[in-house]
Amino acid sequence: MFTLYLKEIRSFLSSLIGYMAICVFITLISVFMWIIPSDGGGYNILDNGFANIDPLFFIAPWVYLFLIPAITMRSFSEEKKNGTIELLLTRPLTDLQIVMAKYFAAFSLVIVSLLPTLVYYYSVHSLGAPKGNLDTGGMWGSYLGLLFLGAGFVSIGVFASSIAENQVIAFIIAMLLCFFFYVGFEYLADSGLFGRSAALLKSMGINDHYLSMSRGVMDTRDILYFASLIALFNLFTKLVLESRKW
């Protein structure tokens, strides 16, 4: 499994996908947070005058809606296109090990894309008045929430790649599924069509739990939600692989 994981990492880094993913993420976040003027009502940290990096945690999920599907779309689709999926399935690995190797490889790239944003924390920490006037607990909670959100998106993206033989189709399916799980349940709950079930429906969406973790509160329910979401889509991916043997 570790060998396949390393192979996937090398595959990402030997192409432009890995580098483009990181560069696009950092560039977009930086442009919104430091360059585009906001007049006190947008995301520009310098214009807003507050010692926090909350704009990062608002913008990043929307960037990940496009970025993570672009990372995961080739996970299984490329194997099918090149005709190597059968060879992969004959290796001395279980279907679950194959799924987890590809999942962790894509998630590792998401983690790497977040590491440069620690520069933002250092910058705001230094610019604070007084220096260090920053809600560190809330910030780390937001980072943890963003990691869980990214992990959920990756599991959805890998699943989408397993059911599509074309990378573009895999990208579109993953993007739509990520969008629905991120804010779709919230939109449905706010529509007023579900009455007393609206709160339950809203809790099925990623955003509700992500916002909870962004406040710095480590609620067991939020952690269990993300763990269940990740496990569910990885299980779906495993079932798709197994279906090729039926």
Secondary structure (3-state) at 34: helix
- Averaged over 78-87, what is the pLDDT? 84
Output the pLDDT for position 81: 84
- Predicted local confidence at residue 179, as pLDDT: 97
The whole-number average pLDDT for the span 145-157 is 96
User: Can you spell out the DSSP letters for 76-89?
Assistant: THHHHHHT-HHHHH
Q: pLDDT digits over 165-212, tens only?
A: 899 999 999 999 999 999 999 989 888 788 788 888 999 999 999 998
For residue 138, pLDDT over 80 is answered with no
Kindly state the average pLDDT of the residues 68-94: 87
Amino acid found at 53 = I
DSSP per-residue string spanning 183-210: IIHHHHHHTTSSGGGHHHHHTTSHHHHH
Give the number of other Cβ atoms within 10 Å of residue 141's Cβ: 19
Give me the pLDDT at residue 51, please. Answer: 67
Which position has the higher pLDDT, 42 or 109? 109
Q: What is the mean pLDDT of residues 82-102?
A: 88
Show the domain range for 203: 2-243
Confidence category of residue 246, pLDDT binned at 50, 70, 90: low
User: Mean pLDDT throughout 44-70?
Assistant: 85
What pLDDT is recorded for position 87? 84
User: What's the DSSP call for residue 133?
Assistant: -
Query: Residue 181 carries which DSSP code?
Result: I
Average pLDDT (117-140) is: 78
CA nearest to 102, candidates 220, 1, 243, 239: 1
Query: pLDDT (tens digit, 9 = 90+) per residue, 13-46?
Result: 777 777 887 888 889 888 888 888 766 556 777 7
Following CA atoms 157, 160, 165, 168 in sequence, which dihedral angle do they give, to the nearest 10 degrees?
-60
How many structural domains is the chain composed of? 1
More reliable by pLDDT, 89 or 106: 106
Between CA 116 and CA 36 the distance in angstroms is 20
Among 18, 66, 202, which residue's Cα sits nearest to residue 211?
202
Asked if the model's pLDDT at residue 98 lies above 60, the reply is: yes
Mean pLDDT score, 128-150: 81
How many residues does this entry show for the chain?
Answer: 246
| Range picked from 48-52, 56-60, 196-200, 212-216 for highest mean pLDDT | 56-60
Residue 86 pLDDT: 82
Query: At residue 61, does pLDDT exceed 80?
Result: yes
The tokens describing 84, both together, are 């190597």
